Amino acid sequence: MSSTATKDTVKQAAESNPEGEGVVVLERIGDGITILRLGAADEGMITLTEQRLDSIDRAADQLAQDDTLRGVVVTGPGPGMFAAGADIRMIENVATPQEGAEGAARGRSIFGKLGALKVPVVAAVDGPCLGGALELCLALDYRIAADNAGTQIGLPEVKLGIVPGFGGTQRLTRLVGLPKALDMILQGKILRAKPAWKRGVVDRIVPAEKLLAIAIETVREFADKGSKGPTRKLRGMDRWLTHSPLRAIVERKVRKTLSAGQARFYEAPKRALELCLDAVRLPVERGFEREASVTGDLIVSKTCKGLLNLYFLTERSKRLGKSDDARSIDRALVLGGGVMGAGIAGSMVNKGILVRLCDLLPENLLGAKKRLQKTLDKKLRRRHLKKHEARAVQDRLAVSSEWGLLAQTDMLLEAVPEVLDLKRKIFAEAVERGLSDDAIIATNTSSLSIDAMSEGLPNRERVVGVHFFNPPEKMPLVEVIRGSHTSDAAVATACKLAVRLGKFPVVVKDCAGFLVNRCLAPYMNEAARLMVEGNSPEFIDQVMLDFGFPMGPARLLDEVGYDVANKVSEVLAEAFTDRMTPSPFFAAMVEAGCLGMKKDGGLYDKSGDKAGPGRAVLTALRSTRGGVDRLATRSEVHQRLVYPMIAEAYRILEEGLVNSAEDLDLGLVFGIGFPPFTGGITKYAEREGIDIVVEALTAMAEQHGNRFAPPRSLVEQRD
């Protein structure tokens, strides 16, 4: 059967589909075999909406009554698309656990009905096959996947604070065994075709072009033999670790990781573990029932709502890179080979951009190559890359003290020391060296004004800030800074670059500290004040860890370094005289030569476990207060640290520096690790109650100083 014929029939089927959009399409190809397409060819992204689930249900009924049917192939609407899982809005709209459990049970039984047809039912997957879509496949007799980069297979439900609810925990565990199922479900791993095949999630991988033909052939073979498909048995380790008492080893190991660190804030992986164990120890129907009821519990939880919001925020952020104005960056010149420049250059070459990295110090250039090699070696060890692919990445990074000429350069990105004149000189020289008029000039500054930097430069509308966070390879946020002259095209291009590098861009107008550092400053300042008042760094860190931050403020200060903290706090103090006067602690640390982890440690020692040299500085400062300690309670610490951050965030919104509250939510979760399960800082504030926050701020302003004064917009929002 030729592929053009397939397309034509699909089209006809779609056109003649009486049910309209958003439903599955049945297509009889003769010989008793029917293709069930999950959508029409022109639908684009397929999700499992209620409407589509209903239509699968009807299709299953219809197929069950067809006596001439010999087999079914379930596939996507066309090449590159299977289905991206359950419709997120459907999850969002669930109001009660009861409703959630019923919805889950319903989806699972529809898939079960399709899988239980008397004839062989084979899934042919090309493109995303995530969440509910994979659960559908798991209910069928056999799974074939296209072996190309677009095929994504996984159950990422835990990332949204829920568990696979359409039978996934039960069916996957029974199919591939406990260790492999847990590995996929608990981390919400998304696999490409080959790893999915190696784990036994799919039975066969084939070239995308031959997918449908092979799937049809496979169904025919099964039908000829009168079988539903191959019978499977777990073998070797998988069998021992699933069906013997040895599974206690797996269980213990997993429980340990699920109670450590930030994992403790998330309920879904723990419940998923129980469900996977149920799949082994309970009859299948009981397992299904439990899965549905757990899904119902989780789907209405605050964590689920928070994570759903975060998911919407990330999707929104990614769309920023899709503007028509955005240019694609193929060649970049990165200036400054320090941690930031090297890290950014490394991220770029990893995504196929040709980068020339320049620095006057050869050791910085070599450092950049080394740093990149280290990340590549790691990927090589994990077999995420092949040797020649790693070499190609390294090849893309040219390092030199010489800039060369810039006529082919699409973007110049500077990450040199924060000296205004130096940056201006660099921009002028770039123009002299032939940088074309439409090339983007980007700066990774964290404290200088974009407008000041671009002054006097021809075509200054192309100067834009792209503020990466340290370390740039890992930190997911990029603040795209719009100066008052910056063009939409430059902003869009910077966003597109960020998305290409796998980051989430957030657009902020030029102001001191931008979004993240400006919100971080009161938090850090207040932490320093609390410590000078006599509260131990361990205590303060613990309160914030218990709130859900990945790291407490004392440790964060050590990581950032006191030189940087001091410098940033000075810049911000100058801009916001009424509330950002820095704690004397930063300057004292710098004076004592205590710079943090980059040198001999700070409040903690180099190993990070014990008290570091910075404690002496703290003690000295405490004695200047007359040695009178003022110990704070946990909730005082919490309010003094988190509420001013909320206040500052709302001020940024009030001043129109960001477009919406969503920007604040995204920026602080991905910029400083504000607890993701809250859904973001404004969601958290709303959850706490705006009036409570305002009251607490007002009270603290009276007690501790005007720096706590709540912003106008927050006061007005109070009910």
Partner 1 sequence: MSRSKQDTLAIIAGCRTPFARAGTDLKRASAADLASHVFREVLDRSAIDPASIDEVILGCGGPDAGEANVARVAALRAGIPEAVPAVTVMRNCASGMEALFAAEMRLRAGEGDVFVVGGAESMSNFPLMFNRRATDWFASLARARSLPQRLSRIAAFRPGFLKPRVAILEGLRDPISGLIMGQTAENVARRFGISRAEQDEFALESHHRATGALERGRFADEIAPVPVAPKFDRFITDDNGIRKEQNAEALAKLRPVFDKKNGDVTVGNSCQVTDGAAAMLVMSEARAEEFGLEPLALVRGHSRAALDPAYMGLGPVHATPDALRRAGIGFDSVDLFEINEAFAAQVLGCVRAFESDEYCREHVGLPGAIGSIDPAKLNVNGGAIALGHPIAATGTRIALTLAEELRAQRKRYGVATLCIGGGQGQAMVLEAA
517 binds partner 1 per the rule CB under 8 A: no
Cβ of residue 487: shortest distance to partner 1, in angstroms? Answer: 24
Q: Is there a contact between 413 and 335 (Cβ–Cβ < 8 Å)?
A: yes
Instruction: Choose the stretch contacting partner 1; rule: CB under 8 A; options: 49-57, 308-316, 360-368, 506-514.
Output: 360-368
Q: Which of 15, 67, 285, 402 binds partner 1 (CB under 8 A)?
A: 402
Secondary structure (3-state) at 640: helix
Q: Cα–Cα–Cα angle for 305, 81, 79, nearest 5°?
A: 175
Q: Is there a contact between 177 and 153 (Cβ–Cβ < 8 Å)?
A: no
Contacts of 256 (CB under 8 A, 6+ apart): none
Phi, psi (degrees; rounded to nearest 5) at 406: -115, 15
Q: What is the dihedral of CA 235, 239, 241, 243, to 10 degrees?
A: -170
Instruction: Choose the stretch contacting partner 1; rule: CB under 8 A; options: 95-103, 306-314, 407-415, 507-515.
Output: 407-415
What's the rounded Cα separation, in Å, for the pair 40 and 604? 60
Residue (253 or 374) nearer to partner 1, CB: 374
The DSSP annotation for 179-219 comes to HHHHHHHHHT-EE-HHHHHHTTSSSEEE-GGGHHHHHHHHH
Site for partner 1 in 156-195 (CB under 8 A): none
Q: Which of 41, 339, 398, 420 binds partner 1 (CB under 8 A)?
A: 398
Residue (353 or 693) nearer to partner 1, CB: 353
**Residues marked as catalytic:** 467
293 binds partner 1 per the rule CB under 8 A: no
Residue (5 or 361) nearer to partner 1, CB: 361
Secondary structure (3-state) at 127: coil
Q: Radius of gyration of the chain from Cα atoms?
A: 28
Residue (372 or 700) nearer to partner 1, CB: 372
With 0-12 CB in 10 A as exposed, 13-18 as middle and 19+ as buried, what is 13?
middle
Q: Cα–Cα–Cα angle for 322, 519, 700, nearest 5°?
A: 145
666 binds partner 1 per the rule CB under 8 A: no
695 binds partner 1 per the rule CB under 8 A: no
Residue (240 or 403) nearer to partner 1, CB: 403
400 binds partner 1 per the rule CB under 8 A: yes
Instruction: Choose the stretch contacting partner 1; rule: CB under 8 A; options: 18-26, 54-62, 305-313, 402-410.
Output: 402-410
Contacts of 394 (CB under 8 A, 6+ apart): 349, 369, 372, 373, 376
In Å, what is the CA distance from 261 to each residue of 197, 431, 547? Answer: 32, 49, 12
Q: Which of 268, 406, 649, 658 binds partner 1 (CB under 8 A)?
A: 406
Binding letters toward partner 1, positions 320-359, x by CB under 8 A: ----------------------------------x-x---
Q: Which of 237, 392, 428, 616 binds partner 1 (CB under 8 A)?
A: 392
399 binds partner 1 per the rule CB under 8 A: yes
Cβ of residue 438: shortest distance to partner 1, in angstroms? Answer: 14
Helices and strands in the chain, H and E counts: 31, 17
Give which of 159, 246, 126, 498 is closest to 348, Cα–Cα. 498
What's the rounded Cα separation, in Å, for the pair 304 and 479? 26
Number of residues that bind partner 1 (CB under 8 A): 24
516 binds partner 1 per the rule CB under 8 A: no
Give which of 569, 566, 570, 540 is closest to 555, Cα–Cα. 540
In Å, what is the CA distance from 695 to each residue of 272, 545, 580, 636? Answer: 40, 25, 21, 13
Instruction: Choose the stretch contacting partner 1; rule: CB under 8 A; options: 62-70, 107-115, 238-246, 397-405.
Output: 397-405
361 binds partner 1 per the rule CB under 8 A: no
Cβ of residue 352: shortest distance to partner 1, in angstroms? Answer: 10
Residue (271 or 396) nearer to partner 1, CB: 396
Site for partner 1 in 410-469 (CB under 8 A): 434
**Residue 175: CA atoms inside 13 Å, Cβ hemisphere, count?**
27
Contacts of 383 (CB under 8 A, 6+ apart): none
Residue (366 or 511) nearer to partner 1, CB: 366
Phi, psi (degrees; rounded to nearest 5) at 530: -60, -40
Instruction: Choose the stretch contacting partner 1; rule: CB under 8 A; options: 66-74, 211-219, 403-411, 617-625.
Output: 403-411
Cβ of residue 350: shortest distance to partner 1, in angstroms? Answer: 15
Cβ of residue 459: shortest distance to partner 1, in angstroms? Answer: 18
Instruction: Choose the stretch contacting partner 1; rule: CB under 8 A; options: 270-278, 298-306, 365-373, 677-685.
Output: 365-373
Residue (315 or 395) nearer to partner 1, CB: 395
The binding site for partner 1 (CB under 8 A) comprises: 354, 356, 362, 365-366, 369-370, 373, 391-392, 394-396, 398-400, 402, 404-409, 434
